[in-house]
Structure 1
């Protein structure tokens, strides 16, 4: 097992420190980009932006994919997701399997940010802590963390249009979110692996929402991952290795034979939730399932990749030693990461929450026998959206989508005054007609009426009549705008 120095992260030749240093997880990428101008996109004017916002780099999407969803199917899914979001607590409590199935199919891009906020419980946290992010955002922060955060900003997805410019709005929001987290959890501080997590969130939602989603991921989904010493990630590495024995005995034997500790190859996978490993289409699909079902999805992705890369004697012929094996794991073959193949394999892999928890207890006992008590006591891990909601049941108000488009009565104009005059005349005419009818009924006056006369034109409503609220929108599940920032639709 690699040595771990308390407070400074991993100290091995292969796994660099992820805490308290200025070295980035993306150093391998950024070193090949060239000058700072190129890193920040100033030399990329000829590049085309893909549908995910990338202007280049390994994660840029090129051309159409066989996994692209037809527009008509996408529209249908959007309607279904809007319906779910309008009654979120009922869907999670009573129809969780359907929610899970829809996450496995892929959340519609227009609603992904809002869905992630609801799945993670970030929406409830935000409502229960109104003004908290603004309060943290206004504070100065600890210079010890701010210096490291600032040096890391340009290394997070430098080929994405949000983060391409130094000091641009994307980097500013990333700085705000990461700084706010160090103030929210001063005992934990900042870990470099949090930066790509926050960046992915910011691609889909505003800074405040991204902050609360980051809080939920760090505290509920991956508790202890970003604490000093990285004990939680080491434990999960041992759990992954134990599960691999059942999933792919050949891969397990090979890694054990060459004494390749899990911490050497799975650290970035797990701590960054594969956001720096997979093609972007696959990243988004994995995150859809991860935020719904919990950390078991991250374990499944790791197991699928290990099985595909090292799962047979034929594949192992080119991996005769530790170095060759590590090189192979660093450069996973593209066909194994392709969206359709990978998602199918993840769904089919029979690894459950119970399997992970059972192995977690076994590895925890082994840890205590060999190393003693853990230095960082993490809260219990929540396995997905339903577990989070059951642990802290929200109120309906916490889940309410408040419309931000408000239709108000326009101020009166001259044309309105003209309409008002015509309306008043109409009222006078109606009053006289009603009086004539009453006289006819009483027999005092005899009036001849033309039975073939055209029906009278309907009169416009009085100007001072109250406007119908939400006239075209009421009763529809498809809110045009809400507090969830529909600019991201």
Structure 2
């Protein structure tokens, strides 16, 4: 599939989506994420850019904040468990490179878990371009100053809740619980700090294939499961109790199989999100004026990203990430000899052959039947007398 990525995305995209919904094999997940997000094309079109950014010093203020956040990202994972280990070093390099790549946007703390998840599946350079694609294509404006994009998506989630779970919507409206209070970490970290690890991987498989609608669907499923029945709402008599309930989601609702099945059944599409986005954007402009941060348009999934930036065959060619060099020296070619040298070699070989002495024949002391002096002797009988010379029997 990866060797013919362009054909699969254009002609058999449903198969790619189905594979992502079933779960990408762990051995291919890193490369598949890079292809889905468009990071592979971005890297090939900007060769040497990451090395250039990595060699620069960076803003001391940004670097100080990044260093303080390194030990907070998956502290029990083997890559990030030790201070100054290779995992934290690569995470620092990726985040520093992004601040230099987008100095007007800078560093946001929610970018660290995104980059850490990518680093668990790919090298630092690939993780950097994956982070660039997520920040610019999937979640544009999420990590900019003011967090206007995440506030706007919070209003979209709040409006979609009314369609998916009216009971949940009325409860949130009754207690005046705004979406920004509970969905900020969900969306900005793409649920990497909320769900169990197995569920995170499955959600990311679908998220990088189908775009931000998967993030909305996961949020709607969690809201519906935690606040979608009257029995559960009885325990939430106010804003504080509701927020505590949403901070401690029951494990059964976050289980991999249950969550993926429920997410695929939520009736929310890209068109629904874009339609609600226009409604909320008009309302935002009416209440707050124009957005201070003009982010690029959001791309809904891998297919939309590929259509916006058509790759070449060279961009999609697979390159080995690990090159093993043989410790043995390469075999040296035998020198070609001239005709005179060949004859001399052959003569030396003939002269060096060992000569064996001739085989001497040993005469047979017994006469054979064909010899003229052959006279067969009659056999002795068992009675001790000679047998007849004609029939060799005792007559």
CA drift of 1:407 comes to 9.1
Q: Deviations over 1:433-456 (max 9, x none)?
A: xxxxxxxxxxxxxxxxxxxxxxxx
2:70 corresponds in structure 1 to 153
2:355 corresponds in structure 1 to none
Paired with 2:109 and 2:319, the residues of 1 have a C-alpha distance of 35
Q: 2:213 aligns with which of 296, 307, 314?
A: 296
1:369 aligns with 2:286: yes
Aligned-partner SS, 1:176: helix
Unmatched 5+ stretches in structure 1: 1-83, 429-489
1:312 corresponds in structure 2 to 229
Paired with 2:140 and 2:325, the residues of 1 have a C-alpha distance of 44
Paired with 1:396 and 1:300, the residues of 2 have a C-alpha distance of 34
CA drift of 1:312 comes to 1.2
2:359 corresponds in structure 1 to none
CA RMSD in angstroms, aligned pairs only: 1.9
Q: Deviations over 1:280-337 (max 9, x none)?
A: 0000000000000000000000000000000111110100110000000000000000
Unmatched 5+ stretches in structure 2: 347-395
1:284 aligns with 2:201: yes
Paired with 1:240 and 1:97, the residues of 2 have a C-alpha distance of 26
1:113 aligns with 2:33: no
CA drift of 1:406 comes to 8.3
Paired with 1:289 and 1:368, the residues of 2 have a C-alpha distance of 32
Q: Deviations over 1:25-67 (max 9, x none)?
A: xxxxxxxxxxxxxxxxxxxxxxxxxxxxxxxxxxxxxxxxxxx
Taking the TM superposition and a 5 Å limit, the aligned residue runs for 1:10-409 are: 84-403=1-320
Higher radius of gyration, 1 or 2: 2
CA drift of 1:350 comes to 1.1
Q: Deviations over 1:116-136 (max 9, x none)?
A: 000000000000000000000
CA drift of 1:412 comes to 3.7
Q: Deviations over 1:180-214 (max 9, x none)?
A: 00000000000000000000000000000000000
Paired with 1:366 and 1:259, the residues of 2 have a C-alpha distance of 18
Normalising by structure 2, we get a TM-score of 0.83
Paired with 2:225 and 2:204, the residues of 1 have a C-alpha distance of 21
Aligned-partner SS, 1:302: helix
How many residues align? The count is 337
Paired with 2:323 and 2:187, the residues of 1 have a C-alpha distance of 40
Q: Deviations over 1:268-288 (max 9, x none)?
A: 000000000000000000000
**Are residues 92 and 152 of structure 1, via their aligned partners in 2, closer, same or farther at CA, if it must alter by over 3 Å?**
same
Paired with 2:196 and 2:101, the residues of 1 have a C-alpha distance of 32
CA drift of 1:234 comes to 0.2
2:365 corresponds in structure 1 to none
